[in-house]
């Protein structure tokens, strides 16, 4: 009997849950446009998701203060998927079924975006992802991607930029090191795919853990292989350890890294080892140094200023992807209203949109719209980020 | 880089990593010996120590004061943990207590995220960034600090347990709490003391490692686990053996990374754990004691 | 104050049937609310794993911190065989279950000679090793990039695609799992386990082969987790190793602790409360702390875990039954038994402290 009772209690919980969730939380549809957001504001991807969520919230507030879109206010329903795939999927369903949003922005990590995509494709709702994987818009298994867009440069674009730099500087034989997570392996895949096109060969390819304390053991093998340059593909913390170790072992070749290190904490962590490190990244990192003729400069500076004023930390390229997604969506809504099919068409026809991540030009087959030109090579000099073209 | 250089370099890497594990493993051993509890949140004391120290340093405290204050603060946290989570559950089964420490670990991590966020922080090395060249291999001064401090701690603890009254009282509590009480020793206070000291050691470990690999809210997880393996290999009640175990793990990992591949590093360490548990559960340094684990 | 053998056999059939009926009728009432259905589907997967783990922890008294490994073995086996070899999902599921059982057997033989905390460590280590293989065997699992394109399940010619259909699939399995657990508990094996739980020494002297029964339970819990994993793979169609990390094993543990490890419904209760609390927190926390994010969940569950272990070590099922006992003393006669000793101080997760 007691176990029956406890089972009853749990069923009761479910009813509570159901009734909690069932009431859509706002006024009648005609006064408000609902947009859904799913960001990894906590968990492993929080450094990416937090600025994303912050950016969208800030932009919604600003837009509503200035009258909204076509006279209607925007209501943002934002969920934190805690960097967990299951949460992302559940939140997507909630947004589609209960909140009945017009469009969704989000999916900080590629894995989460990929898990969300079947839902949005089935439901026929415009979805702009903020993650980088090529599979999000050009899947290897050719599953449908009619409603899915993304505003982050794919790793294929970033790698191309990096390979281009290597070729220009005559660095043919390189060592490739990536962090052992989805971010690192994605970069590795693209590197393997494109390196031959640029005449670049990897003399050694290795992985390092995200929790690495000391990689000198692995680097001894790298040193043995005698590369002309070392590529380190990871985010700030672990890349800093590797960079320091390279410096400590006295391996004196150019070190080229990924856009993941584009934050001040990398310089703090790597100390003097960071000097001379080069990496491709979006222009926002060096906005002040851009020539005034650069079409993105003004937008970049304004975004940086607004974000830092609101939140007191730098927005990063990831916040930038969210900025782009939001504005692309709002522009589409301005012209197409809340008709999902029309919004999708407007997005597909984006031409010359000056965003934070770059200048977007989309079409039916290209749902990202960015090229290698959206990135710049940046060098760390005297503890600061400097454009290195 | 020739064979000999690489070998020495790997050895140094292993010793560095091993010394970090050693300090945390010492904490495990102390807690276990005195209270019979496996504290799976031990690694998080290291994390708290590192982050608190960084906060003090960034607020302008002199370096040494910051270190001492952080250690003391973490010891207080350890004490609170003992009183609120361990003490009320002291009659529960050991499995229950293990799970309680897991819960505590979650709480520490959550609080860390709340206070410091998820990004990594940097701490400057104790005596500057120079490296020494020994036998053609490179070692940082910070790493030498790590190795040195762990050995010194070991010496201090050995002295304490074997040569002082307090230490012997503590040992008595483990061997026979009832008899200990007859002699006027209070096991309850011992439990409190054990965890507080372990917390302090953990904090020290974290502060030493922060200059080498940065500090973030999740740095404690793997460090704690690996140190755990080290302690088990050493026999869980034998401090010098645990330290030896820590260095063994460190060196094993370094050599795996250096000669083989870095992806399987964790699997090798945990594989060693399983081997030891299955075939030599009292640790590889234990004499046959007949007491089943 | 001991265990009343008579009570074991007087199960509450009416109560169980009622729960089953409610579960089966639910989607018909909420058929358009896919969010609710998916939540219940996730609860379903977790129920299956937790029921298996409850058998292991509550009845056999053994602790496992590595169930996610079996969950993952089921997922990846199903994914691999259905995608690369076009094998029927049912055959793949069986393959996964067999593999999981074999792995459990191999690990179990040496592991169950260990006690309590050493066993916990061994299962923890085992979980990490399996996770490392998921990460590194890129040709088979796709590594950290994940494995996508897992095909859906077909049953009697219907392809199971919608949440509505999948709900029934999962819950039929879940209820079957609970039924099966009940049969085990009532069988010879169950009685043997009772005796082990009561006192290993006594059981041994009566000729009960302790290791064999513990091993059987471990293998059974592995099969439960594996089947849940297979179903899960077909539901989400995209899996990656990070779904099967150590933390997932700990969440399963939390579910069993919450649910109570002496009742076959423990898995269901724990899974439901865990998921519901999670969703509830998502709604409530932002109201009090506007800029909060998911960290609070972790802290909350950590504190909850600690509190439950200190004050309610036998889980919700036990506490609720205590309340019932006080309110309605004559219901005791018809009760299903609690296999955990009713001595409250021996908060027993995984056996008595010697």
Cβ burial A79-116 (10 Å sphere, 16+ → b, else e): bbbbbbbbbbbbbbbbbbbbbebbbbbbbbbbbbbbbb
Interface probe with B: pick from C111, C252, C310, most Cβ of B within 10 Å: C310
Instruction: Find the CB nearest B95 among C63, C133, C310.
Output: C63
Mean pLDDT across chain A: 86
Q: How far, in Å, CA of C20 to CA of C179, rounded?
A: 10
Dist. CA A113–CA A139, nearest whole Å: 12
Answer yes or no: are the C-beta atoms of A148 and A368 closer than 8 Å. no
pLDDT tens digit sequence for C195-204: 776 676 777 7
CA distance, residue A160 to nearest chain B CA (Å): 26
Yes or no, beta carbons of A180 and C336 under 8 Å apart: no
B142 Cβ contact list (under 8 Å, min separation 6) = B125, B126, B127, B129, B208, B211, B212
pLDDT tens, position by position, C290-330? 555 566 777 788 888 888 888 777 777 666 666 666 766 55
Give the pLDDT score at C45. Answer: 95
Distance from CA of C239 to the nearest CA of A (A): 8
Q: Indicate if the pLDDT at residue C15 is higher than 60.
A: yes
With an 8 Å Cβ cutoff, is A249 touching chain B? yes
pLDDT in the model for residue C306: 83
- Looking at the complex, report in whole angstroms how far the Cα of residue A201 sits from the nearest Cα belonging to chain B: 20
Q: What is the pLDDT of residue A17?
A: 56
User: Distance between the two ends of chain A, CA-based, in angstroms?
Assistant: 75
Residue-level pLDDT at C351 = 41
Residue C48 sits at the chain A interface (C-beta within 8 Å):
no
Nearest by CB to B113, which of A42, A209, A265? A42
Give me the pLDDT at residue A3, please.
53
A236 Cβ under 8 Å from any chain B Cβ: yes
Q: Considering chain C, what is the average pLDDT of its residues?
A: 78
User: Stretch A335-354: mean pLDDT, rounded?
Assistant: 89
**B151 Cβ neighbours under 8 A, 6+ residues apart:** B243
Distance of CA B186 to the CA centre of its chain: 26
Which stretches of chain B are assigned E, i.e. beta strand? Answer: 131-134, 137-140
- Above 60 in pLDDT, residue B156? yes
Share of chain C above pLDDT 70, in %: 79
Chain C residues within an 8 Å CB radius of A115: 236, 238
Interface chains of chain B (3 or more CB pairs under 8 Å): A, C
**Domains in chain B: boundaries:** 3-279
What are the structure tokens assigned to B184, written together? 């006027």
Coil/strand/helix, residue B225: helix
Interface of chain B against chain A, CB under 8 Å? 1, 5-6, 9-10, 12-14, 16-17, 20, 113, 117-122, 129, 131, 138, 140, 143, 209, 212-214, 216, 218-219, 221-222, 253-255, 257-259, 261-263, 265-266
Q: What percent of chain C has pLDDT over 90?
A: 24
Q: What percent of chain A has pLDDT over 90?
A: 39
Strand partners, A233: A178
Using a CB-CB cut-off of 8 Å, the residues of chain C touching B90 are: none
**pLDDT tens digits along B95-139:** 778 888 888 998 898 888 888 877 788 888 887 777 777 777 778
Those of residues 27-46 in C touching chain A at CB distance below 8 A are: 30, 32-36, 38-40, 42-43
Is 50 exceeded by the pLDDT of residue A26?
no
Distance from CA of A237 to the nearest CA of B (A): 6
3-state secondary structure at position C192: helix
**What does the pLDDT look like over C93-137, one tens digit per residue?**
999 999 999 999 998 888 877 766 777 888 988 999 999 899 888
| Residue-level pLDDT at C22 | 80
Cα–Cα separations (whole angstroms), residue A151 to A133, A233, A328, A357, C296: 11, 21, 9, 7, 30
What average pLDDT score do residues A299-319 get?
89
Closest CA to B24 of B109, B161, B146: B146
What does pLDDT average to over chain B?
82
- For the ranges B169-173, C165-169, C237-241, the lowest mean pLDDT is seen at B169-173
C122 touches chain B (CB under 8 A): yes
pLDDT for A130 equals 93
Residue C336, pLDDT > 60, answer no
What residues 18-57 of chain A have any CB closer than 8 A to a CB of chain C?
18, 20-22, 41-43, 46, 50, 53
Chain A nearest-CA residue for C17? A4
Long-range contacts of B156-159 (CB under 8 A, 24+ apart): B157/B26, B157/B30, B157/B239, B158/B239, B158/B240
User: Where is pLDDT greater, at C49 or B154?
Assistant: C49
A269 near A288, Cβ under 8 Å? no
Condensed to tens digits (0 to 9), the pLDDT of residues B258-283 reads: 777 767 777 888 888 888 888 877 77
- Pairwise CB contact (< 8 Å): C306 & B104: yes
Q: Has residue A29 got a pLDDT over 80?
A: no
End-to-end CA distance of chain B: 46
- Do residue B118 and residue A47 have CB atoms under 8 angstroms apart? yes
Q: Which residues from chain C sit within 8 angstroms of residue A98, using beta carbons?
A: 33, 35
Q: From start to end of A52-190, where are the E strands?
A: 73-80, 103-106, 127-129, 148-150, 173-179
Residue C137 in contact with partner chain A when CB distance is under 8 A? no
Is there a contact between C39 and A90 (Cβ–Cβ < 8 Å)? yes
Is the CB of A312 inside 8 Å of chain B's CB atoms?
Answer: no
Q: What pLDDT is attached to residue C147? A: 86
Q: In whole angstroms, how far apart are CA C12 and each of B77, C4, C16, C29, C47?
A: 47, 16, 6, 26, 20
pLDDT digits (tens, 9 = 90+) for A171-226: 999 999 998 877 888 889 899 999 999 999 999 998 888 777 778 878 888 888 89
* Residue A104 contacts C, CB cutoff 8 Å: no
- H or E segment to which residue A216 belongs: helix A216-225
Task: Give the pLDDT mean for C69-98.
Answer: 92
Locate B228 and state its tokens. Answer: 């755990």
Across the interface, do C135 and A135 touch by the CB < 8 Å criterion?
Answer: no
State the pLDDT at residue C186.
82
User: Is the minimum CB–CB distance between A138 and chain C shorter than 8 Å?
Assistant: no
Q: What is the pLDDT of residue A18?
A: 56
Picking from B98, B270, B278, the nearest residue to C128 by CB comes out as B270
Contact (CB<8Å) C144/A94: no
Residue of C272, C287, C297, C327 best to disrupt the A interface, most CBs of A under 10 A: C272
Fold designation for B3-279: ABC transporter involved in vitamin B12 uptake, BtuC (1.10.3470)
Chain C residue numbers with beta carbons less than 8 Å from the beta carbon of B268 are none
| pLDDT exceeds 70 at position B71 | yes
* Least confident among B37-51, B140-154, C81-95: B140-154
- pLDDT of res. B264: 77
CA–CA gap between residue C70 and residue A187 (Å, rounded):
30
Residue A382 has pLDDT above 50, yes or no: yes
- Between C155 and A37, the higher pLDDT residue: A37
Q: Which range, of A213-222, B103-112, B243-252, C247-256, averages the lowest pLDDT?
A: A213-222
Q: Give pLDDT, residue C317.
A: 66
Determine which of B58, B114, B117, B213 to mutate to test the interface with A (most A C-beta atoms within 10 Å).
B213
Burial class (CB within 10 angstroms; exposed 0-12, middle 13-18, buried 19+) of A359:
middle
Query: Using CA atoms, how far apart are residues C316 and C312, in angstroms rounded to an integer?
Result: 7
Residue A47 with chain B: CB contacts under 8 Å: 118-119
The complex's ipTM?
Answer: 0.81
Mean pLDDT along residues C257-277: 84
Q: Tell me the chain A residues in contact with residue B16 when contact means C-beta distances shorter than 8 Å.
A: 213-214
Query: Does residue C299 sit at the B interface (CB-CB below 8 Å)?
Result: yes
Q: Shortest CB distance from A211 goes to which of B140, B222, B257? A: B222
Crossing angle (nearest 10°) for helices C266-288 and A2-22: 30
Question: Which residues of chain B lie closer than 8 angstroms to A216, CB-CB?
Answer: 9-10, 12-13, 138
A84-113 pLDDT, tens digit per residue, is 888 899 899 889 988 899 999 999 988 889
pLDDT of residue C294: 62
Distance CA B231, CA B247 (A): 11
pTM of the prediction? 0.83
C184-206: b (≥16 Cβ within 10 Å) or e = bbeeebbebbbbbbbebeebeee
At residue C205, the pLDDT reads: 76
pLDDT beyond 50 at C342: no
Summarised one tens digit per residue, pLDDT across range B27-70 is 888 888 777 788 889 999 999 999 999 999 999 888 889 999 99
Q: What is the pLDDT of residue C10?
A: 38
Q: A171-175, A235-239, B15-19, B168-172: which has the minimum mean pLDDT? A: B168-172
Which DSSP letter does residue C152 get? Answer: P
Question: CB B267 to CB C303 under 8 A?
Answer: no
CA distance C4 to C158: 48
Whether A4 sits inside 8 A of C316 (CB atoms) is: no
Judged by a CB distance cut-off of 8 A, whether residue A250 touches chain B is yes
Whether C345 and chain B come into contact, CB under 8 Å, resolves to yes
β-partners of residue B140 are: B131
Residue A217 sits at the chain B interface (C-beta within 8 Å): yes
pLDDT band at C12 (very low <50, low <70, confident <90, very high): low
Q: Do A21 and C35 touch (CB under 8 A)?
A: yes
pLDDT at B291: 38
Listing DSSP states for A275-294 in one string gives TT-EEEEEGGGGGGGS-TT-
- Is C144 within 8 Å of chain A by CB? yes
Confidence of residue C286 (pLDDT cuts 50, 70, 90): low
Quick one: pLDDT at residue C2? 35
Contact B263 C253 (CB under 8 A): no
Is the model's pLDDT at B202 over the cut of 70?
yes
- Kindly write down the DSSP assignment for every residue of A19-84, as one continuous string: HHHHS--SS-GGGEEEEEEEE--SSTTHHHHHHHHHHHHHHHHHHHHTT-BTTBEEEEEEEE-TT-
**A11 or B218, higher pLDDT:** B218
C11 touches chain B (CB under 8 A): no
C346 falls in which pLDDT band (50, 70, 90)? very low
For A49-69, write each residue's pLDDT tens digit: 889 999 999 999 999 998 888
- List the single residue in C12, C236, C266 with the smallest CB-CB distance to A115: C236
Write the residue in A2, A6, A139 that is nearest to C335 by C-beta: A2
Please count the other Cβ atoms lying within 10 Å of the Cβ belonging to residue B4.
Answer: 11
**Are B94 and B36 in contact, with CB atoms under 8 Å apart?**
yes
The shortest CB-CB distance from A220 to any of B6, B117, B118 is to B6
């Amino acid at each position: 009997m007691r176990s029956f009772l406890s089972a009853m209690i749990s069923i009761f919980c479910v009813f509570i849950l159901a009734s909690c969730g069932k009431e859509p939380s706002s006024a009648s549809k005609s006064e408000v446009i609902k947009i859904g957001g799913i960001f990894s504001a906590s968990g492993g991807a929080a450094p990416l998701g937090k600025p994303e969520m912050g950016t969208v919230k800030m932009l919604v507030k600003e837009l509503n203060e200035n009258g909204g879109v076509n006279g209607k206010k925007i209501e943002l329903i934002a969920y934190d998927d805690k960097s967990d795939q299951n949460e992302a999927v559940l939140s997507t369903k909630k947004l589609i079924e209960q909140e009945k949003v017009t469009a969704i922005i989000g999916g900080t990590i590629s894995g989460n975006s990929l898990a969300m995509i079947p839902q949005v494709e089935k439901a026929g709702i415009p979805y702009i992802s903020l993650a980088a994987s090529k599979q999000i818009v050009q899947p290897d298994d050719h599953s449908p991607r009619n409603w899915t867009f993304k505003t982050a440069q794919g790793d294929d674009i970033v790698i191309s930029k990096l390979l281009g730099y290597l070729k220009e500087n005559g660095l043919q034989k390189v060592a490739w090191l990536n962090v052992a997570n989805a971010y690192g392996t994605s970069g590795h895949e693209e590197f393997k795919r494109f390196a031959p096109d640029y005449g670049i060969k990897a003399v050694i390819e290795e992985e390092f853990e995200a929790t690495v304390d000391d990689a000198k053991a692995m680097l001894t093998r790298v040193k043995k292989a005698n590369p002309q340059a070392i590529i380190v593909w990871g985010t700030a913390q672990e890349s800093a350890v590797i960079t320091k170790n390279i410096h400590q072992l006295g391996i004196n070749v150019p070190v080229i890294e990924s856009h993941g290190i584009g934050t001040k904490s990398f310089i703090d962590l790597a100390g003097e080892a960071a000097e001379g490190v080069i990496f491709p990244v979006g222009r926002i990192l060096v906005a002040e140094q851009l020539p005034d003729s650069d079409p993105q400069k003004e937008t970049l500076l304004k975004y940086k200023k607004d974000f830092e004023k609101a939140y007191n930390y730098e927005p990063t390229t990831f916040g930038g992807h969210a900025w782009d997604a939001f504005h692309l969506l709002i522009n589409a809504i301005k012209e197409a209203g809340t008709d999902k099919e029309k919004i999708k068409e407007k997005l597909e026809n984006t031409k010359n949109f000056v965003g934070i991540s770059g200048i977007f030009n989309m079409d039916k087959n290209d749902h990202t719209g960015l090229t290698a030109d959206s990135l710049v090579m940046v060098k760390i000099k005297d503890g600061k980020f400097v454009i290195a073209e | 880089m020739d064979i000999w250089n690489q070998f020495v370099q790997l050895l140094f890497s292993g010793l560095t990593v091993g010394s970090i594990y050693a300090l945390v493993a010492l904490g495990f051993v102390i807690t276990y010996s005195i209270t019979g509890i496996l504290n799976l949140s031990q690694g998080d004391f290291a994390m708290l120590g590192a982050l608190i120290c960084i906060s003090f340093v960034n607020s302008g405290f002199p370096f040494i004061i910051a270190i001492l204050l952080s250690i003391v603060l973490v010891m207080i946290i350890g004490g609170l943990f003992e009183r609120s989570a361990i003490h009320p559950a002291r009659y529960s089964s050991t499995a229950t207590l293990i799970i309680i420490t897991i819960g505590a670990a979650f709480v520490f991590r959550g609080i860390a995220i709340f206070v410091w966020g998820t990004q990594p922080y940097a701490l400057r090395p104790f005596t500057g960034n120079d490296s020494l060249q020994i036998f053609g291999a490179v070692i940082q001064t910070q790493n030498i600090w790590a190795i040195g401090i762990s050995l010194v701690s070991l010496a201090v603890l050995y002295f304490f347990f074997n040569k002082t009254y307090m230490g012997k009282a503590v040992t008595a509590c483990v061997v026979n709490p009832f008899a200990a009480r007859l002699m006027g020793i209070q096991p309850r206070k011992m439990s409190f003391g054990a965890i507080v000291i372990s917390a302090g050691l953990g904090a020290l470990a974290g502060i030493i490692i922060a200059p080498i690999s940065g500090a973030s809210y999740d740095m404690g997880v793997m460090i704690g686990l690996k140190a755990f393996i080290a302690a088990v290999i050493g026999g869980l009640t034998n401090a010098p053996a645990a330290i030896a175990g820590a260095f063994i793990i460190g060196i094993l990992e370094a050599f795996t990374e250096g000669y083989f591949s870095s992806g399987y590093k964790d699997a090798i360490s945990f594989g060693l754990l399983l081997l030891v548990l299955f075939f030599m559960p009292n640790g590889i340094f234990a004499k046959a004691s007949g007491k089943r684990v | 104050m001991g265990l009343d053998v008579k009570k074991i056999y007087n199960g509450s059939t009416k109560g169980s049937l009622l729960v089953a009926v409610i579960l089966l009728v639910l989607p018909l009432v909420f058929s358009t609310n896919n969010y609710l259905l998916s939540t219940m589907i996730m609860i379903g997967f977790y129920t299956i794993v937790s029921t298996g783990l409850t058998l292991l922890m509550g009845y056999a008294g053994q602790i496992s911190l590595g169930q996610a490994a079996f969950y993952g073995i089921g997922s990846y086996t199903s994914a691999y065989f259905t995608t690369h070899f076009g094998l029927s999902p049912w055959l793949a599921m069986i393959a996964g279950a067999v593999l999981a059982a074999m792995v459990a057997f191999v690990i179990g033989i040496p592991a169950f000679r260990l006690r309590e905390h050493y066993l916990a460590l061994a299962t923890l280590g085992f979980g990490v090793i399996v996770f490392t293989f998921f990460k590194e065997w890129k040709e088979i699992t796709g590594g950290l990039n994940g494995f996508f394109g897992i095909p859906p399940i077909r049953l009697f010619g219907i392809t199971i695609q919608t949440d509505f259909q999948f709900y029934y699939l999962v819950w039929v399995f879940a209820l079957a799992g609970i039924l099966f657990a009940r049969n085990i508990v009532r069988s010879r094996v169950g009685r043997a386990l009772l005796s082990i739980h009561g006192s290993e020494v006594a059981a041994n002297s009566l000729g009960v082969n302790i290791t064999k029964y513990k091993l059987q339970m471990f293998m059974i819990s592995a099969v439960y987790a594996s089947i849940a994993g297979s179903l899960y793979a077909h539901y989400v169609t995209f899996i990656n190793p990070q779904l099967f990390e150590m933390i997932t094993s700990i969440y399963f543990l939390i579910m069993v602790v919450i649910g109570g490890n002496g009742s076959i419904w423990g898995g269901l209760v724990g899974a439901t409360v865990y998921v519901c609390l999670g969703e509830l927190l998502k709604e409530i926390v932002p109201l009090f702390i506007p800029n909060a994010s998911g960290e609070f969940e972790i802290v909350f569950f950590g504190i909850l875990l600690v509190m439950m272990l200190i004050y309610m070590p036998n889980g919700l099922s036990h506490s609720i039954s205590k309340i019932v006992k006080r309110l309605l003393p004559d219901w005791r006669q018809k009760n299903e038994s609690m296999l955990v000793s009713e001595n409250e101080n021996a908060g027993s997760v995984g056996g008595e402290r010697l």
